[in-house]
Amino acid sequence: ETGVTQSPTHLIKTRGQQVTLRCSSQSGHNTVSWYQQALGQGPQFIFQYYREEENGRGNFPPRFSGLQFPNYSSELNVNALELDDSALYLCASSPLAYTGELFFGEGSRLTVL
C-alpha cells in the first residue's frame, strides 16, 4: 500500500476522444510524475509537476497535458486519442522533486479502439 490512488483503473475509448486520468498523491508529497507503459515495455516519462507547476516533460506531444491541484492531486489529460495511446498510465508521488523515493499508484489501463 503506497498511499497513491489512481482512477479509473480501466477504461476504453475510441480514436479521437479525450480522456482524463486522476491521481491522488500520498499525503505530504508535493511532486507527482506521470508515466506511460506500453505492453512489454518499461515506463516512459511523460511529465512531472512540482507545487502545481510543470517542471519537466518527456518526449510526448502537447495533446498530453496535466494539472496539479493545491491538495497535490493530479490529472493527466490526453486529447485526440490515437491507437498507440493504449497503455498503462502510472503516476508516482515523491516528497522531493529530483531525488526522492517514488511511490507509485496501481495505474490506469487505457484501451483505445
Partner 1 sequence: KNEVEQSPQNLTAQEGEFITINCSYSVGISALHWLQQHPGGGIVSLFMLSSGKKKHGRLIATINIQEKHSSLHITASHPRDSAVYICAVSSNSGYALNFGKGTSLLVTP
Q: Which is nearer to partner 1, 16 or 38 (CB)?
A: 38
Q: Is 39 within 8 Å of 87 (Cβ atoms)?
A: yes
Q: Does 95 bind partner 1 (CB under 8 A)?
A: no
Contact with partner 1 (CB under 8 A): which of 90, 93, 110, 112?
90
Q: Is 50 helix (H, G, I), strand (E, B) or coil?
A: strand
Contact with partner 1 (CB under 8 A): which of 19, 21, 81, 92?
92
Reference 105, options 38, 42, 28, 21; nearest CA is 21
Least separation in angstroms between CB 103 and partner 1:
7
CB atoms within 10 A of CB 66: 22
Rounded to an integer, what distance in angstroms lies between the CA atom of residue 102 and that of residue 112? 28
Q: Which is nearer to partner 1, 34 or 112 (CB)?
A: 34
Sign (positive or negative) of CA dihedral 78, 81, 84, 90: positive
Residues in 9-68 at the binding interface with partner 1, rule: CB under 8 A = 33, 35, 37, 40-45, 48, 55-56, 58
Interaction site with partner 1 (CB under 8 A): 2, 33, 35, 37, 40-45, 48, 55-56, 58, 88, 90, 92, 97-99, 101-107, 109
